[in-house]
A and B are shown apart, each in its own frame.
Chain A
Amino acid sequence: MRIVNTTQVPRSLLHYTLKVAMIGCLIFSGCQSKNEPQEKKTKVVTIQVKGSDTLVNVAQAWAEEYKKIAPSVDVEVSGGGSGVGIAALVKGTIDIATASRNMRPEEVEAAKRNTGKDAKEFTLGYDGLAIYVHKDNPMKEISMDQLAAVFTEDGTFTKWSQLGVTIPNVDDDAIVRVSRQSSSGTYEFFREHVLNKKDFKLGSRDMNGSKEVVELISNTKTAIGYSGMGYATPAVKMLHISPKTGEPAVPPTIENTITQKYPLARSLHLYTLGQSQGAVQQFIDWILSAAGQNILKENGYVPVQSTGN
């Protein structure tokens, strides 16, 4: 009987792999117990920013730009929603929470209880929540009551004809409602201000990102949805909104948002725990400076101060 082995090469390969794997394991378990391999890059500071999906793109742009100004600061940006950002801040696991709604009293209290610090609020800008329709939709304005009748659980409007609109070249004029997934700050804001805290009608397409909302509407002639005004594209149209049927409609513009004439204007916030220091405070100062505010403006939001046109 001849048993020929498959050469020496795989054998040494095997030994090598096995040894590397074992050493890897050992090193790894070592790291695991310490969980702080800080030998490398001790000077780098990491700032964790988490929260609103509305603000995630702006936060990303800030992080990108800030890296050029302060190379030793790494900024981590994650989305998830205003509620998540605030919840993480309350637990003390992140440095900055971004939010498109105000922190609730019970959340402030919980933060105090968990970390012993007060949450500090910074208003960093404003946003108008725009109501989007397809660009071929002849509709120009909509009232808050009509919006509520379209979106609320017991709302009666399910067809465009009920809104007095005929959309050219479509067979089925059922309204395709586009919404956001529950517990995004935008969803909550819309529920509070348009639906008067009632629930949404089920069956809306609940998108995960503000961009997806606009994208879907740009492909669907019979769609209507809401999203930050920074997300507008040429394929969609922003409706003017009147506070009540019959009253004059207000377009979502920067001025109308600042003056709060636009009914769906909201302010955007940053929250930190206590008086933040060092890198975090510098980052926030930079955000509120002209450079940071310009980035906000480029992303379609309204700066908190007039940054010299």
Chain B
Amino acid sequence: MPMTNNLDPAQRFTKTEFVVRKERIQSITKVLFAVMAISMIIPLLLIIGYLFYHALPSLSWEFLVEVPKKGMRDGGIWPAFVGTLYLVVISLAIAAPVGVFAAVYLNEYAKDNWFNRIIHLAVINLAGVPSIVHALFGLGAFVYAAEFGYSILSAALTLAIMTLPVIIASTREALASVPMPFREACWNVGASRWQTIRAVVVPNSISGILTGIILQVSRAAGETAPVMFTGAVFYKAVERGELFPYQLNEQCMALSMHLYTVATQVPNVKESIPYATAVVLLCSVLLVNAGAIALRVWLRNHKKW
């Protein structure tokens, strides 16, 4: 504020009571809101710290690749870990193409009419359906009606439908961020709609699409209820470090379900084992998410328009 007249500066700049009050409220609220924000982070750090502290005696590479021993009271989590990988990969193989195509349709093809608004609502509701309702659906539709039985296939299909909105939402966002002139330029040289999408829109939004897919992975890995009733078992004998122990029509163990069972069902388990299982699950999910975040930051720094 360039004030260059000769009035007594003290008088001109003394804060009136009104201003003092206003500024006091301002600083109080700022601190208050900061405390609120911090109080969300502190629990996160405390909890992760606590989990790690208790998990430490069991955490090792051995814990990951070893099979559960002595009635799940000792040993590792390999069958559960590999089972989760199975579920994630298969559900991804189903959800990714459908989700990306659905987003392409919504963003590139759909006109703004009532039908497409209904699709939009359906996506939102699909995202809001409780996981246990997805479990009921998976049980009723895949296990019984489609007669897939309790199997990896049923569980993966349930997970795929459940995580579909994650992919649709972030792919759509990524597609929408591609500026319209890009498309127009491409159409002007005679490219068809699909050619434009393939050659211009998708390459320019691939990082965003991948982010969505990564988020789907993290979501699918952490879900418990839907797999509990469609294809996850309490225990299945698997060799240590075996990479392909399961088949599609069999049931498998899953990390999230394993955490639930060791925490609630297995007696006299070594104290650190449920904690270590929780840490492995938590870390895999957080690492995957961190990957998505890193990708997004990379994308933002490399954006050329």
Contacts and interface: CB of A to CB of B under 8 A. Distances in A.
A and B touch in the complex (CB under 8 A): yes
Interface of A: 1, 3-6, 10-11, 13-14, 17, 21-22, 24-25, 28, 31-32, 35-38, 40-41, 46, 48, 53, 56-61, 63-64, 66-67, 71, 73-79, 93, 207-212, 214, 230-231, 233, 298-300
A32 B146 CA distance: 10
A120 B239 CA distance: 31
B267 A57 contact: yes
Interface string B143-180: 00000111001000000000000000000000000000
A95 B282 CA distance: 35
A214 B250 contact: no
Contact of B93 (A25, A67, A211): A25
A181 B261 CA distance: 15
Contact of A209 (B206, B265, B268): B265
B64 to A, nearest CB: 18
B185 A3 contact: yes
Given A3-B182, A58-B71, A209-B261, 8 more contacts: A10-B206, A11-B203, A53-B265, A63-B236, A77-B235, A78-B234, A78-B235, A233-B268
B71 A61 contact: yes
B302 interface: yes
Given A6-B203, A37-B247, A76-B250, A210 B153 contact: no
A229 B49 CA distance: 35
Category for how many chain B residues contact A: 35 or more
B267 A210 contact: yes
B70 A214 contact: no
B182 A21 contact: no
Given A37-B247, A77-B236, A79-B234, A28 B71 contact: no
Given A6-B204, A37-B248, A64 B69 contact: yes
11 contacts: A4-B305, A6-B303, A14-B202, A17-B96, A25-B97, A53-B265, A64-B68, A73-B237, A76-B235, A209-B265, A211-B266
Contacts of A17: 96, 210
A67 B267 contact: no
A1 B181 contact: yes
Contacts of B204: 5-6
B77 interface: no
Contact of A31 (B67, B200, B248, B266): B248
B11 to A, nearest CB: 57
Nearest to A11: B203
A72 B60 CA distance: 29
Given A6-B302, A66-B237, A207 B264 contact: yes
Nearest to B229: A80
Nearest to B96: A21
Given A1-B181, A4-B304, A6-B304, A67 B265 contact: no
A31 B93 CA distance: 13
A182 B257 CA distance: 21
Contacts of B203: 5-6, 10-11, 14
B234 A77 contact: yes
A13 B233 contact: no
B94 interface: yes
B295 to A, nearest CB: 11
Most buried by A among B71, B97, B237: B237
B227 interface: no
Most buried by A among B93, B97, B148, B234: B234
Given A10-B203, A35-B249, A37-B247, A56 B70 contact: no
B256 interface: no
Given A6-B203, A11-B203, A21-B93, A75 B237 contact: yes
